[in-house]
Each structure stands twice: as C-alpha cells, then as structure tokens.
A = this chain, B = another copy of it.
Amino acid sequence: MVSIGEVARKAGVSVGTVSRVINRNAAVRAEYRERVERAVRELDYRPNPFARSLRRQESLTFGLIVPDVTYPFFAELVKHADDLAALRGYCIVLGNSNNRGDIQQRYIDIFSERRLDGVLLVPSMDTRPRDLDGSVPVVIVDRGLKGFPLFASDHRGGAETAVTYLIRLGHRRIACIAGPETLTLAQERVSGFRAALAALPKRQRPTGQVRFTEFDYVGGHNAALALLQGPARPTAIFANSDQQAIGALRAAADLGLAVPRDVSIVGFDDVPLATHLAPRLTTVRQDVRRIADLALQHLEKARTNGIARRSVIVPTVLQVRESSGPPPPENKQ
C-alpha cells in the first residue's frame, strides 16, 4: 500500500502539499497540484481511511438497525438508506436485530464502539435501548419509543384515511389487525382506525374489533382466521402491514371467501409485492425514501447541531386497488 509520503517524494513536494491537493481545501500552485495528481495516478494512491478517521474523528459510516430485513418494508428502507448514504459519501453498516431487544442493544454497543458517525434505529418491539444519548448520535425511524423524537409516517392519519374509505364504501363491520400492542406505532394506527369509526353518528357507528399481533404473514394469517370465523364476520379488514394483509388474503382463501366480494382487505406500506398479488392490494403508501432521506440529513448535521428534539411526520397516500370493494349486498345498510 502506497502512503502519502511516497506520493510526496515522487511529486517532489511535502506531504502537507499532497494532503492539501487531495482534500481540495487549500490553495496550491497549479504546477504542484498537477505533479501531485500525476503521482497519485501513477502510484494508484488511496488515502488510508483508518489514518484519516483517526485524525478527523469521523468514519463516514452510519449504522442502520432494523427489526428484520426480510420484511419487505424494511428491505425497502435499507435499499433507500444505502442509496442515499452513498450519494453523500457515507456507507451503511447493517444491524438486523431479529425483533429482539438484546440483539438491538448489542448492535448499538458495537456501533458506538466502532465510532460510527450516527445510527438509524428502527426499534424492535420489546426494549428501550439504554445509552441512547451515549457516544453515538441515534435517530429513531418508523416507530417511536414513547417520548423520543422520531422520523416516521403519519401512522394515525394513514389509518384514518384507509378506514374512512372503507366506511364510504358502505362497510359497517370493520376489523383491524394491528401490530404488537407494545409499539406506539401500532397504538397510533389503531387510534386512526377508531377515529374514523367515531366520525359516524352514534346510531350507525360501525363495530370495530381490534387484534394485536406480529407484523408478519403468520400474524396476519392467524388474526384473520380468528376474525373471519368469529361471530359477526367483518366485511372488511384493515391490516397494519402488507404482510399481515397477505396473511389475511391467505386466510380468506382457506375459508373459501372471495376478496373483495365476501371481504375487503386493506394493507399498510405499499411494498412492491402489493401490486403483484391476485388480487392487487389496496394499501396505505408510506414514503420510505423521504423518511430515510430526512433521517440521514439530520444525522449528517447532528454532529454540529446535536440530535433531533422534535419528531418529523411524513404524509401517506391511500392506494386503492382490487382487494377492496363494497360489502356483500346482504350487509348493505
């Protein structure tokens, strides 16, 4: 590996000058600059990042901790974060917490030991990380820890819009498959769900059963099975993730129910898969890229300005597709 000293010698200048040329931040005589650039090229010189980080106290690296990359929504988040970070000259090191608080904590520790410049944290369900105002700046993304500033979608508003849409369609028995009860994210979507129901006059107010469960396929499948086999079968299900919605689709198929003829299903996230199912999924679109961008931006400024003190809420958009429609005739009011 060629060092800055060798470049300096070859170019016939001092290491200081070479450094100035490389970092383009100081005036260097044109002739020297060229000599240095040529030497760099000929020796194929790459500055040693460890030395630079040691000196500058920065790693040009962010950590990203997600509950599970194999959930399509998080995969999307990872993809955008990676892309946007690269645009800014940063790398992303990944931490897959597997929905476990202890693993999440381990990654926070590792990332702060490694002196990353910041961490994007999508908290896994069960634990509030200690040490959040420790050595590494942390920004919470997607789902809030109660009371912590957050970069996320308007979960409540998105849910309310979706359910209002179902009500307008004529549904009066609407169920909600929510996320794990411990997550504020789930609470917020449920509260949007309830708000939509509450908007109707009391006497025709729809009934709204809620089931809290995992955000994944299995959670949605089981919850929908229970709902659809229970008393007063709902004519519409509002699931809090597309994965749950897919599980619900599967449950409907299991029971010989057609979607949307017998039951309407609405999801949340609008992952790519949503448009490739039969039927295509009606769902609440989150602007993941924008969320990632804002969070990254914030992290980049964090060293100078300190960490976020206020939450940033990004709007969602309902995508109406085939999996929702009017309720069966006998249920119309």
Residues of chain A touching chain B, judged by Cβ–Cβ distance below 8 Å, are: 1, 46-51, 53-54, 59, 61, 68-70, 72, 75-76, 78-79, 82-83, 86, 91-96, 98, 106-107, 110, 112-115, 135, 217-218, 221, 246-247, 249-250, 252-254, 271-273, 276-279
Contacts and interface: CB of A to CB of B under 8 A. Distances in A.
A307 B322 CA distance: 51
A279 B75 CA distance: 24
Contacts of A247: 276
The DSSP consensus for interface residues of chain A is helix
Q: How many copies does the complex hold?
A: 2
28 contacts: A46-B112, A47-B113, A48-B54, A49-B113, A49-B114, A49-B115, A50-B51, A50-B54, A50-B59, A54-B54, A68-B79, A69-B69, A69-B78, A69-B79, A70-B79, A72-B75, A75-B75, A82-B94, A82-B95, A82-B96, A83-B98, A86-B106, A217-B273, A217-B276, A246-B276, A252-B278, A253-B278, A254-B278
A65 to B, nearest CB: 10
Contacts of A276: 217-218, 221, 246-247, 250
A271 B273 CA distance: 13
Contacts of A110: 86, 91
A219 to B, nearest CB: 11
A91 B114 contact: yes
A228 to B, nearest CB: 13
B76 A70 contact: yes
A215 to B, nearest CB: 13
A187 to B, nearest CB: 26
A50 B115 contact: yes
Name the 10 nearest CB pairs between A and B, nearest first.
Answer: A253-B278, A217-B276, A50-B54, A50-B53, A70-B75, A82-B96, A93-B93, A250-B278, A75-B75, A46-B113
